[in-house]
Structure 1
């Protein structure tokens, strides 16, 4: 491997970037996890997803404005450093890396479980080891090959959701698979009303809904390797939020129209039930294949995201310099190998660690997602304050509403943090998050002290 500092190569097209963001934000949370949000809000969860989609769009546009202006490796960690100071960049970068590592642990563990459905006699660790080695090899290829594979992983998920929505409308309008009896959409209001748990139920569901959009920020990380980022980033950002919104709202609209909302999730996956209603008896097997590709897509994006973030942070002096090394293909190979090793070690810890302790660690991902989003918005506000009127008018991809829109987004996300604290089950993530930030502050102080000593010795 040759060491060519900061020589990341551009090979990601708009198509790659668009599906990477879709793949990151649409996963098992939609296939299985949406049932919990439905229980909290009833049919009004549709409104909650629309509100969440608007905020997700604000976050992506804020990130897009900075990414097009300055397409850097490390993305929002770099923007936080440049606009809010080195400490903000350090904390944001490491928080994102730890969050994605935790998510990746869950994803590789899930892959082993899904393969166990088809091959129950094979130990899960065999599948976990296999997927880590395969995904590691994919990430050591050139970035164009990575983007192409990620496109196809995400494509299967998206195609299944589209088929599900179309089939659902067939059941609603023409009664396909229901003896020719259309179900209509009366279930959206006939089981306690649209706001079946009141407006407060819809508001309380927002904290669960927002985490469904987690992963959209990976678009910013692709900026350093995007072909013509001034064109591909705006195209991807403008199309992804409404597509995610259509997929989430469309899917849940169909499911809650066909089934009374209070029955969703009580008898297995709504996706499986919907396909079975059409007479597709192999629905469980089909969905297992789709969820397998969903987990492969997620792990692939996880390794890519952490690798590029650590590479960017190494360039900022916030991570070991070896993370800046790249191969002849322009791949930060050291970060990929470190991520593979961390996944193998972490999966082992996942098996031997008491479940309640692991849940405490995993809850950090909840806190970290909101932290990263708030830092993106605050970075954009600070970025705008530095620009003159002429510079603002010259922005290639200005955010609608500018700093005011970002400020509104920050207020909303602070409200989400309040909701996290409202529930005893999720409140622990705030405690863990506070401890994590405190540890990072200590680490940053020690790092600065070492730098000071080094400078003093050099003199």
Structure 2
């Protein structure tokens, strides 16, 4: 990848392929299975294993409908991002697309909002990792585990991107395996009639026997929807992988088409099994449903097994967050919207300085997390909620602008066009805007909208003070044909 002032690299034949040696070239080392599991793993985190109780309490069994509605919106976001990623497989992904099709300021805000989201989420995950390790080593200071995982993730992310992809692949295999085991185990418990509550029968009838399928009405469904949407946060990381995919024209479409259905299966399947085994109004969140089910199956080490799974989920999330934030910073630097030093890469084709910055940010964040009051930290962390909505909205609007330009300038049609254009794209955009309204409507999530607006104002000031000339998008974004044939290295 060249610097912003130089032309895009020319295609090379197999004989000329070599490890990335130049200052501004990323290595294309991610295979199709890497990309599919990175996207899958980034949207399956500790929230599913521990945090699903909140959504269940709000909507009851109708939380299943909330997951289906959110899943439909996520699918359109993924398809829009997929079309742009195949057409323009560049580092920085949707940050670069927003700058190209909506203007430099939109790209600046989108890129930096995503970076900040990744930092905040990763800070929460490294803190959680220390808590989880305390399950086995209660006398060991938590900061030792936090420092250890930060150094481990930094080491992985400074190696060739293929190593990162392999780690994410195996970590996701463990997470998915735990979910499948829970679903299958839950079905077995229903067949043999094991009950978790005295006098309560088990089976699908529990989905309607306790106040109906929608016990808290439409209001409860909407309250859950504003929470459920963010369970899918992070799935946009698939766009970040396009800049290092060995064959983006083939791997991105397959991943985009496969991942949403698999995630819906895991989330919806998990919710159906849990609420069939346990009446929804008895789910308090005090204990993980996974522990309950594994224990009922006669597995005495259920808490230990779950602790291993959530540790894996935390490491996977920190790894993916570090990767995503680093590549976004690389793209911002190419646009002149971040320090130019972030474009320098190692001989392995990795932007090493962005990894160092992420490691330092995580270290500082953990210190702040220990020092500042908890309520202040929660206010800061709420930007992650707003950031997910903002990034998805920018993806959809960038895609709509790109489609309009293709039609207006009679450019070649995309190889991976979104379905049902333009109706589905505008419907998904309306859905995202509706979620923004929900954020402001419910008191529990209102702080996310307030903090988000403040964040946008701060970015506006930063843009005016530090970005000279507004920045610029990559020149090769003007001609998609130069990108589909980018070389593998």
* TM-score of the superposed pair, with normalisation by structure 2: 0.89
Query: How far 1:183 sits from its partner (Å)?
Result: 2.5
- 1:455 matched residue in structure 2: none
For residues 105 and 393 of structure 2, the distance between their equivalents in structure 1, rounded to whole angstroms, comes to: 15
Question: How far did 1:173 drift?
Answer: 2.5
Given the alignment, which residue of 215, 227, 230 partners 1:211? 230
1:201 equivalent in alignment to 2:212: no
Match of residue 25 from structure 1: 43
Contact 1:367 1:433 in 2 (8 A): yes
Q: Deviations over 1:60-81 (max 9, x none)?
A: 0000000001101000000001
Distance (Å, rounded) in 2 between the aligned partners of 1:437 and 1:353: 23
| 1:254 alignment partner in structure 2 | 273
What residue number does 1:319 align with?
338
1:36 is matched with 54
Q: Secondary structure at the match of 2:135?
A: helix
Structure 2 partner of 1:368: 387
How far the C-alpha of 1:391 sits from its partner, in A, is 5.5
Task: Tell me whether 398-407 or 372-381 shows the greater mean CA deviation.
Answer: 398-407
| Cα drift, residue 414 of structure 1 | 1.0
| Mapped contact 2:195–2:277 kept (Cα < 8 A) | no
**Which of residues 109, 115, 123 in structure 2 aligns to 1:105?**
123
Q: In the aligned structure 2, how far is the partner of 1:101 from the partner of 1:402?
A: 34
Deviations 1:21-59 (A, max 9, x none): 111101111111110000010001111101111111000
Q: Give the direction of change, closer, same or farther, for the CA distance of 1:172–1:70 in structure 2 (3 Å limit).
A: same
Whole-Å separation in 2 of the counterparts to 1:253 and 1:342 = 39
Shift, 1:364, TM fit:
0.7
8 Å Cα contact 1:164-1:271 kept in structure 2:
yes
- Look up the SS of the partner of 2:215 in the other structure: coil
Match of 1:347 in 2: 366
Do 1:116 and 1:122's aligned partners in 2 also have CA atoms closer than 8 Å? yes
Query: In the TM superposition, what is the alpha-carbon distance from 1:403 to its structure 2 partner?
Result: 3.5
Cα distance change of structure 1 residues 281 and 3 upon mapping to structure 2, 3 Å threshold: same
**CA offset at residue 421 of structure 1?**
0.8
Instruction: Give the Cα–Cα distance (whole angstroms) in 2 for the partners of residues 127 and 403 of structure 1.
Output: 49
Q: State how far apart, in whole Å, the 1-side matches of 2:410 and 2:191 are.
A: 53
1:416 maps to 2:430: no
Query: Residues 112-167 of structure 1, C-alpha deviation per residue, up to 9 Å, x if partnerless?
Result: 00000110010000000000000000001100011001111111100000011111
1:446 matched residue in structure 2: 465
The alpha-carbon distance between structure 1 residues 171 and 391, as it changes in their structure 2 partners (threshold 3 A), is: farther
Deviation at 1:267, TM superposition (A): 4.3
User: Which structure 2 residues correspond to residues 195-344 of structure 1 after superposition, within 5 A?
Assistant: 195-344=214-363
Whether contact under 8 Å (1:176, 1:278) holds in the other structure is no
Aligned residue pairs, count? 450
Secondary structure of the 1:7 match is coil
Matched, 1:437 2:452: no
User: Secondary structure in 2 aligned to 1:74?
Assistant: coil
Distance in 1, matches of 2:63 and 2:453, equals 30
Match of 2:68 among 43, 50, 71: 50
For 1:22 and 1:308, the matched residues in 2 are separated by: 18
For structure 1, the 5+ residue unaligned runs are 453-459
Who is 2:169 aligned against?
151
Partner of 1:163: 181
Matched, 1:16 2:42: no
Structure number with higher helix proportion: 1
C-alpha distance in structure 2 between counterparts of 1:86 and 1:295, whole Å: 34
Shift of 1:247: 0.2
Q: In the TM superposition, what whole-angstrom CA distance separates every residue of 1:81-115 from its partner, at most 9, and x where no partner exists?
A: 11001110001000100011000000000000000
Give distance in 2, aligned partners of 1:353 and 1:404: 47
Question: 1-side partners of 2:410 and 2:232: how far apart?
Answer: 31
Equivalent-residue separation in structure 2 for 1:342 and 1:135 (angstroms): 13
Q: Which residue of structure 1 lines up, in the alignment, with residue 151 of structure 2?
A: 133
2:64 and 2:268 in contact (8 A); partners too:
yes
The CA distance in 1 between the partners of 2:445 and 2:90, in whole Å, is: 34
- Structure 1 residue matching 2:382: 3-state secondary structure: helix
Indicate the SS of the match to 1:330: coil
Q: CA deviation at 1:172?
A: 1.7
Using the alignment, how far apart are the partners of 1:391 and 1:255 within structure 2? 51
Contact residue 314 and residue 322 of structure 1 kept, 8 A: yes
Structure 2: runs of 5 or more not aligned:
1-19, 472-489
